[in-house]
Amino acid sequence: MNHQTIQQGMIKILLVEDEAVIAISQKAILESLNFQVNIVNSGEKAIEYIKNISEFIHPDYKEIIQSRIQSMDVEYKEVKPKFEKFICLDGSIVDVVVRGIKVFFDGKPSVLAYIQEAS
């Protein structure tokens, strides 16, 4: 992520907040900083929102990512940052750095992933 990307408003954030007043104020603050913000009001809706993220993973990296996710299932640990390629909505390919850690959400094992543009 670089300053030019933020200035152009290309950084998208999924804000998960169940209190409407807080969500609206947080969204306003983030938008004033030139982020694009989508709001969902529960973890379940966040999961639904990003459920089809695999369609954005470049085909050359799908097996690598699956292997990294499986290693987190076995070892319950953080996976090291890794450069990968994702496909944007317009079909262009972007280099990203992906980090992940196993967490528990509502008592169930889950993966928290952080994806950052690498250019």
What pLDDT, in 10s, does the model give residues 40-91? 888 777 777 766 666 677 788 778 777 777 766 655 567 778 888 887 767 7
Q: Does the pLDDT of residue 24 top 80, yes or no?
A: yes
Which domains does the chain show, CATH number per domain?
1-51 (no CATH), 55-119 (3.30.450.20)
Long-range contacts of residues 13-16, Cβ cutoff 8 Å, at least 24 apart = 13/37, 13/38, 14/38, 14/40, 14/46, 14/49, 14/50, 15/39, 15/40, 16/40, 16/41, 16/42, 16/43, 16/45, 16/46
Q: Give the chain's mean pLDDT.
A: 76
More confident residue, 33 or 110: 33
Q: What is the pLDDT of residue 77?
A: 67
